Amino acid sequence: MREIKVIGIGGIGCALVPFLARYLNYRGGRARITLMDGDEFERGNADRQAFGTAGNKAKVKAAEMAREFQGLSFRAVPEYITEENITQYIGDGDTIFLAVDNHKSRKLVSDYCEKLEAVTLISGGNDYTDGNVQIHMREGGRDRTAPITRFHSEIQNPQDRSPAEMSCEELMERGAPQLLFANLAVASAMLNAFYSLCEGKLAYGEVYLDIVEGKSNPVKREGESKR
């Protein structure tokens, strides 16, 4: 069974999951999708995020998807990814969609993925009108594309904190303004990369996009052979 993990069910994750589930449901084959997020959906987030009810984002979205796509298996993990739980939720052979809002969590997941024999990590992030998607593939204990920390010092040496490290007050106050369409563009680029991978046609390791300029730019990110 294909194991897919979606970490972060916010602006990007919320846009990504229904299309990912629809694609997998009708593509055939067995898949289990694990949705992971410690955050609660509140009505105030409804400008960018679609949830039918208030509650933990992973639980609410997993329940919605399970009702709609009965050919797939869904699991909700109502926790943020941390050093303590990462070994429990990420394993060899996983495909991970990383849609978090901080570099600390990106580094945590990336560093762990580098220890695995085989993994596919598709990480997306955006600012207000632009963003990027990085794809780290490992096969047979070797990097086929570069880890997401390589060339990106902001992820290698993150200056921010993960939500698991924040107080309730800090969690309430965090968050720069975001644009729904930037979230959607990044989610779409993550799914485009996944599709290309499934078809054996992925030709880049990172793609940049800007929704105002109407541009995207894929770049190669070689793995170990270039080290």
Partner 1 sequence: MTEPLKQAPRVRPESPAHTRETVRIIYGVHSLEVNIAGRSVGEVRTQLSQALNIGPRAIAVVDGREVMESTILQGGEVLEFVRMSGEKGAGR
Between CA 117 and CA 139 the distance in angstroms is 6
Residue from 213, 147, 217 nearest 189 by CA: 217
- 92 DSSP assignment: T
Residue choice 10, 74, 81, 96 for contact with partner 1 (CB under 8 A): 10
Q: Which stretch binds partner 1 (CB under 8 A): 2-10, 87-95, 136-144, 191-199?
A: 2-10
User: Per rule CB under 8 A, is residue 152 in the interface with partner 1?
Assistant: yes
Q: Which stretch binds partner 1 (CB under 8 A): 26-34, 66-74, 149-157, 194-202?
A: 149-157
Residue choice 124, 143, 144, 147 for contact with partner 1 (CB under 8 A): 124
User: Per rule CB under 8 A, is residue 12 in the interface with partner 1?
Assistant: yes
* Segment 191 to 210, residues that bind partner 1, using CB under 8 A: 208-210
Place of tokens 């800007």: 210
Place of tokens 């993150």: 158
- For residues 15 to 54, the per-residue mask of contacts with partner 1, x marking binding by CB under 8 A and - elsewhere, is ----------------------x-x--x-xx---------
Q: Which is nearer to partner 1, 19 or 208 (CB)?
A: 208
- 148 DSSP assignment: T
Q: Where are the alpha helices (DSSP H) in 69-223?
A: 86-89, 103-113, 153-156, 168-173, 180-198
Q: Which is nearer to partner 1, 32 or 161 (CB)?
A: 161
User: Per rule CB under 8 A, is residue 147 in the interface with partner 1?
Assistant: no
CA distances from 216 to 26, 48, 199 (A): 28, 22, 21
User: Per rule CB under 8 A, is residue 61 in the interface with partner 1?
Assistant: no
User: Per rule CB under 8 A, is residue 216 in the interface with partner 1?
Assistant: yes
Residue choice 66, 86, 171, 180 for contact with partner 1 (CB under 8 A): 171
Residue from 149, 169, 152, 170 nearest 161 by CA: 170
User: Per rule CB under 8 A, is residue 160 in the interface with partner 1?
Assistant: yes
Helix axes 11-27, 180-198, angle to 10 degrees: 30
User: Per rule CB under 8 A, is residue 215 in the interface with partner 1?
Assistant: yes
Between CA 21 and CA 65 the distance in angstroms is 7
Distance of CA 109 to the CA centre of its chain: 10
User: Per rule CB under 8 A, is residue 178 in the interface with partner 1?
Assistant: yes
Between CA 176 and CA 116 the distance in angstroms is 33
Between CA 120 and CA 99 the distance in angstroms is 14
- Binding residues (CB under 8 A) for partner 1: these are 8-13, 37, 39, 42, 44-45, 99-103, 106, 123-127, 130-132, 134, 148, 151-155, 160, 171-172, 174-176, 178, 183, 186, 208-210, 213, 215-217, 219-222, 226
